[in-house]
Structure formats: C-alpha cells, structure tokens
C-alpha cells in the first residue's frame, strides 16, 4: 500500500473512533495526517462535511501551504492553517481538532488565565509527564473568526512534536508523532477536562 493509502486508512480509523464518541457535533472538528515530508503534504478533512459519515471524499491532500495538492472539487478544512502550523514547525505526524462541551466550558472557565494546569493526575503521563510533581499546562488562546490570525496566535504554542492547545469557546487541537499518539492525547485531555468540571461541580 502507498503511504497515501496507509495514512488515509489510519485517519479514517481515528475519525471512526472519534465519531463513536460523538465528538463531531454540527459538522465541527477536523483531522489531519502527514503523508510526506519532502514535499510536505498532508491529508486533511474536507470542510463542512458531516464527519459522522464515512465516504471516499472525507479527506483531501494539501501542500505545505494548506492548498489542495491535487485537482479536487473538495475544499480543505477551514482550519487547515492550524494543522499546517503544526507540520511546518514540528515533526508531528497527526493533528486532531474537536469541539466538546467539556473542552469549551474549561476554555471559558480558565480563558482569562490563558492556561489550565493539571498536577497529581495519572493521565498527564499520556503527555510523557512521569515525574511525581509534574504539571501539564494546556494553553488557552482567544478564538478569532479570521483563521490566518487564529493560526498566527496558535503557532506561538506549537513548539514540540506533541502538544495541545485550547481555543476559547471553540475546541481543542492536539498533535503527536502519529495517529495513535494524537488520539491518546485527545482522549487524555478530554478525561482531564471532564474530571475538572465534575470536581468543581461537587465542590460548589
Ligand atoms: C460548524 S463548526 C465551525 C467550523 C469549525 O470550527 C470546525 O471545526 C469545522 O470546520 P471545517 O471547515 O473543518 O469543517
Ligand atoms: Zn473548529
């Protein structure tokens, strides 16, 4: 199988798993996976589609600028520039963006601080933080309707081959070495957000 076909299957599998979690409400969310480094090309979800459905038009190949790399009637995700920022700055192989109620509420509760931090939580190990007193910090950036502006802000927080950034009242984008790692980080983040909200509710 070609790298294109292999990556397509991997991304389709992640998309299926996230759909099963009901993380694509109202056509929200977009996913990407790198196919080649030189030239940089990655598959990204087509814009505005019902991501619960599986079709052979779910993804299209884009270039280092996030522009279609092949003739296609499909439009790349409106948020392709965020994925492009990740692949242009890091060696990450997969990036995932979803909107959930928990990630939106957390982004609003902690948005003024610009960060949410987790300590003493087993699941921060998913991010490679294994030390006793390690802290996971997830930055929260303002949402901008202007996507190049949003991507410019987002780019400042893309400094490693894996990571996560919350966009206030919008969603989360995570990235990792490959599809397995990106999905792990997405699930771990969602667990931590849901835990934090449940704890706050019980404490109030
Ligand atoms: C109705 S969701 C608004 C756009 C968005 O935030 C998103 O994640 C989906 O956009 P896309 O162009 O990737 O379908
Ligand atoms: Zn979005």
Mind listing the pLDDT tens digit for each residue in 153-172?
999 999 999 999 999 999 99
Q: Is the ipTM of this complex over 0.85?
A: yes
The closest residue, in CA terms, to atom 1 on ligand 1 is 28
26 lines ligand 1 (CB under 6 A): yes
Q: How far is CA 178 from CA 46, 105, 186, in A?
A: 20, 28, 12
68-126 confidence digits (pLDDT tens): 999 999 999 999 999 999 999 999 999 999 999 999 999 999 999 999 999 999 999 99
Q: Binding site annotation covers 144? A: no
Q: Mutation test of ligand 1: which of 11, 28, 49, 143 has the most ligand atoms closer than 8 Å to its C-beta?
A: 28
Kindly give the number of the ligand 1 atom that is closest to the alpha carbon of 170: 6
Exposure of 137 in the CB half-sphere (CA atoms within 13 A): 6
Q: How far is CA 39 from CA 42, 87, 159, in A?
A: 10, 11, 21
Could you tell me if 126 and 55 are in contact, meaning their C-beta atoms sit under 8 angstroms apart?
A: no
- Rounded to two decimals, the pTM is 0.98
């Amino acid at each position: 199988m070609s790298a294109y076909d292999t990556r397509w299957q991997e991304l389709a599998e992640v998309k299926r798993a996230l759909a099963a979690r009901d993380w694509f409400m109202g056509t929200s969310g977009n996913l990407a996976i790198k196919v080649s480094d030189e030239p940089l090309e990655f598959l990204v979800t087509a814009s505005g589609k019902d991501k619960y459905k599986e079709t052979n038009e779910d993804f299209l190949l884009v270039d280092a600028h996030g522009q279609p790399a092949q003739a296609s009637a499909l439009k790349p995700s409106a948020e392709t520039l965020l994925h492009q920022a990740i692949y242009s700055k890091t060696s990450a192989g997969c990036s995932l963006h979803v909107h959930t109620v928990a990630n939106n509420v957390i982004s609003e509760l902690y948005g003024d601080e610009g960060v949410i931090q987790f300590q003493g939580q087993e699941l921060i190990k998913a991010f490679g933080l294994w030390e006793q007193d390690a802290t996971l910090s997830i930055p929260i950036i303002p949402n901008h309707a202007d996507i190049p502006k949003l991507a410019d802000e987002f780019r400042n927080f893309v400094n490693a081959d894996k990571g996560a950034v919350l966009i206030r009242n919008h969603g989360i984008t995570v990235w990792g070495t490959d599809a397995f790692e990106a999905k792990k980080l997405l699930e771990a983040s969602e667990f931590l957000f849901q835990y934090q909200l449940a704890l706050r509710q019980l404490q109030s």
